[in-house]
Amino acid sequence: MLVPVFTLKLNHKINPHMVTVGKYDGMHPCLTAATQAGKVADGANAIVLGQLGGISPPLAIIGGNCALQGFDHEGNDLFWTVTGDNVRSLCLCDFTGDGNNELLVGSEDYDIRVFKEDEMMAEMTETETVTSLCHMHGSRFGYALANGTVGVYDRTARYWRIKSKNQAMSIHAFDLNSDGVCELITGWSNGKIDARSDRTGEVIFKDNFTSSVAGVVEGDYRMDGQIQLICTSVEGEVRGYLPASKEMKGNLMDASVEQDLIRELSNRKQNLLLELRNYQENSKAGTGSKKKEKEGQMGVIPANTQLQTALSVNVGSENQKPSVDLTISTSNDTIIRAVLIFAEGIFEGESHVVHPSAQKLSGCIRVPIIPPKDVPVDLHIKAFVGGKSSTQFHVFELTRQLPRFSMYALCTQGSAPKPRGKATFSINDRLQRVVMWLNQNFLLPEDIEVPDVCFTSLRGAGQLCIKIEQSGEITVSTDDMDLAGDVIQSLSSFLAIEDLSVDADFPDYFEEVRNTLVQVDEYHSVHQRLTAEMADHSNLIRNMLVQAEDARLMGDMKTMKKRYIELFDLNRDLINGYKIRSNNHAELLNCLRAVNQAIQRAGRLRGK
C-alpha cells in the first residue's frame, strides 16, 4: 500500500484549481494555494507557461473571453489568436510529433482545439465543457469535463474515458508506479484521489480526503532530490506521495481495494455460472409439444435471426418534433423485449432504454433521436430478442454511426426562400468523391448521383444548398455561417485539403458584425467618459475633505456639515457611476466575445 510521505494542515481553505508549485527565489520549491480571498482578473480563465511552436522565448499563454494571448518575461505580446468560446483549460503538447509544442485549448462549447501557433489544425468535440487538460507524454494528453468525465487522447484518437457522478477538480500526469510511463492522476469533488493507466484507464492506486480535492501538483517540496506528487483539499489538508519503490511496483492498492476486486470477480463468476446453468436447462428441455413450449419460455429463437437497423429523417408534425428515426427490427417473427442505446451527447446520462409494454410487443421498435450538434456519433445498441412467451432473451449487440449532418432533410429547390449567404471555392478532385462525401455525411433516401442538392434544417436554421459545377467550383448556400464552416471543414477533411481559398458572402451576418463593432466603439467612448468623470470626482473629494477638516478645526460646524453632506451626495454619485461602469464593462466584454467568435467562424471557412 502506498502511503503519504508527508502530511500537513493549512489554517485556510483553498480554492479549487488554485494550487501550484514554484521556486520564487530560484532555489526553494514553494507550495502556493489561493485562499477564498483570492481574485482572478477579468478575461483570464486559464494560464499555461512554456515554449510554443517556433516562438523563441517561453510564453505565459492566457486564455479568456474567446481569445488567447502569449506574453514573454518582459510582458511583450508575442502571440494572439481567437477561439470559439470562453477558454476553460490550456495545455502545451507536441501534438504532431515534430519536436515543437502545439497549444491545446478546452472551451465552454465542448470542443478541444489544437493550435499550431495561431493556426487551428485539429478539433475534437466532447459532450460537456472541457475543464482540465494535461500533457501525458508524446502526443498523448488527458482531459476532464464538467459532467465528471475524464479520459486520454492520443492526437485525435481517444484511448479511453470514464464517467463519474462526481466532478473532476484537477488532473495531473505523474509516474506513480515507477514503470517509466505517466499515469493520469485525478482529484475528485468527493475527496477521492485515483491514478489510472494512460493506456487502459485501469485504477492502480486510490486514496481519500475528507473534503473535495483543490489541486494536484508535483515538486521536490522536501528538497531531498525526489519529486513528490502533492495533493491538497479545500479544507487545507496537504499530502505528498513518492513514486513506488521497486519492491512495491504493481502493488499500490491497499488490502481493502484488493478485497473489492476479489468481490467483483466473484460476482462475475456467479453471473457466468447462472448463464451456463440457463444453457444447460435449454439443452435438457423435453420433446414434442412440451419441448416447444419449454423452448418458447427459455427464449430459443431461430438460428438465422438477425437484428436490422435503419436511419431515416422525420420532418415532424404538429404533435411531434423533427428527429432522426432509428428503426430496429428482427428478420423473422421474433419480438424485441427491450432496447438499450448508448451514445455520447444525445441522451441524458448518455443512455436510453425502450421497454414496450406486454401488449405492444413486436419485432420492430422506432426510437426518435435529436442530436444537438452536427457531429458524427456512434450508437451502441443492445436488443433483447425472444419469443412472445419468452422469459429469457438473447442479447444482440451492434454499433451504428449517425452521420454528421443527419438533422438535414433532402428537399426540392424553391420549397423555401433561398439563402442569402454563400461560400464559394474550387477543388481539384473528381466529382464522384464529393458525391461519396454527401452520401456518407447526410441521410439520403437513396444514393444520389447529381451533386446539386438542397436540404432543410430540422433545427429551424433554414435551407442548406450545395451546388457543384463540372469545373470543380462548389457553392455552399446557407444563412448559417457556422454550418457553412462545418460543411467546408468536413469536406476538406474527407478530400485531404489543407487550405482553401474561399469567397464568402453572408450579408446578414456581416451587418450584425458591423453593428457589434459600432457598439464596441460606443462602449469604449462611454468607458473613457466615465473614467474621466470618476477622476474629476476624486479631485472634488480631496478638496471637500480639506475644506471640511479646515472648518472643523476653526469651529465652523455649519460649513463642516455642509461639506460632509456634499461628500455624501458625491459618494452616492460615485457608487451609481461604478454600477454604470460595471454594466458597460460587461456589455463591452460580450461584444468583444462576439467579435472574436466572428473571427473564429471566418477562420473555419479556410479548410483544415
- For residues 419 and 394, membership in a common domain is answered with no
Looking at the domain assignment, is residue 51 inside a domain? Answer: yes
Separation in Å, CA 1 to CA 207, 250, 418, 589: 10, 10, 68, 51
- pLDDT at position 537 is 81
End-to-end CA distance of the chain: 49
Does residue 102 lie within any of the structural domains? yes
**Of 474, 504, 534, which residue is a domain's last?**
504
Same domain? For 371 and 422 the reply is no
The tens digit of pLDDT for each residue in 183-200 reads 999 999 999 999 998 888
Question: What's the pTM?
Answer: 0.70
| CATH code for position 331 | 2.60.40.10
pLDDT at residue 3 tops 80: no
Tell me how far apart the alpha carbons of residues 526 and 509 are, in angstroms, rounded to a whole number.
26
Domain assignment present for residue 89? The answer is yes
Using pLDDT thresholds of 50, 70 and 90, give the confidence band for residue 268.
confident
Q: What is the pLDDT of residues 519-567, one digit of tens each?
A: 989 888 888 888 888 888 888 888 888 888 898 888 888 888 988 898 8
The partner residues of 173 in beta bridges, in order of sequence, read: 184
pLDDT higher for 2 or 590?
A: 590
What pLDDT does 130 receive? 93
Strands (E), 256-334: 307-314, 323-330
Split at pLDDT 50, 70, 90, the class of 247 is low
Same domain, 522 and 584: yes
Element (H, E) at 153: strand 149-154
CATH number at residue 29: 2.130.10.10
What integer is the mean pLDDT of 205-226? 87
Residue at a domain's end among 230, 245, 260: 245
Which residue reads 466584454 in cell numbers?
589
- Choose one of 482, 504, 526: the last residue of a domain: 504
- Does residue 485 sit in the same domain as residue 520? no
pLDDT of 289 above 50: no
Q: Is 308 helix (H, G, I), strand (E, B) or coil?
A: strand
Strand, helix or coil for residue 410: strand
Residue 407 grid cell: 438533422
pLDDT, tens only, 329-355: 998 889 999 999 999 888 887 889 999
| pLDDT of the residue at 406 | 92
Residue with the larger pLDDT of the pair 389 and 311: 311
Band (33; pLDDT cuts 50, 70, 90): low
The answer to whether position 176 is within a domain reads: yes
Output the CA–CA distances (angstroms, integers) from residue 399 to 236, 290, 331, 384, 564, in the order listed.
47, 37, 17, 15, 77
Number of domains in the chain: 4
- 33 domain residue, yes or no: yes
The rounded percent of the chain whose pLDDT value lies above 90 is 23
C-alpha cell at 322: 423533427
Is pLDDT of 15 > 80? no
How far is it, in rounded angstroms, from Cα 365 to Cα 386? 14
Task: Give residue 253's pLDDT band: very low, low, confident or very high (50, 70, 90).
Answer: low
Do the beta carbons of residue 379 and residue 347 sit within 8 Å? no
CB 335 within 8 A of CB 430: no
In a domain, 288, yes or no: no
User: Is residue 538 located within the same domain as residue 492?
Assistant: no
| Kind and range of the H or E run holding 351 | strand 351-354
Q: Would the pLDDT of 494 be above 50?
A: yes
User: Is the domain of 105 the same as that of 228?
Assistant: yes
pLDDT band, very low/low/confident/very high, at 177 (cuts 50, 70, 90): confident
- Domain of 191 in residue numbering reads as 6-245
Please write the tens of the pLDDT for every residue from 403-423: 999 999 988 766 667 888 999
Cβ pair 70, 63 in contact under 8 A: no
If asked whether residues 342 and 445 sit together in one domain, one would say no
Q: Are residues 440 and 394 in the same domain?
A: no
User: Are 31 and 230 in contact, with CB atoms under 8 Å apart?
Assistant: yes
Selection from 250, 243, 229 nearest residue 178 by Cα: 243
70 within some domain: yes
Q: Tell me, yes or no, whether 398 and 417 share the same domain.
A: no
Mention every residue, 6+ apart, whose C-beta is less than 8 A from residue 551: 557, 559, 560, 563
Cell 483543490 sits at which residue? 214
**Residue 136 and residue 23 share a domain:** yes
Whether the CB-CB separation of 234 and 34 falls below 8 Å is answered with no
> Which amino acid would we find at residue 347?
F
> What is the Cα–Cα distance from 520 to 596, expressed in whole angstroms?
12
Rounded to 5 degrees, what are φ and ψ at 245? -75, 170
Within this chain, do residues 385 and 461 fall inside the same structural domain, yes or no? no
Within-domain flag for 108:
yes
Residue 417 shares a structural domain with residue 519 = no
Q: How confident is the model at residue 496 (pLDDT cuts 50, 70, 90)?
A: confident
**Cα(249)–Cα(176) distance, rounded to whole angstroms?**
9
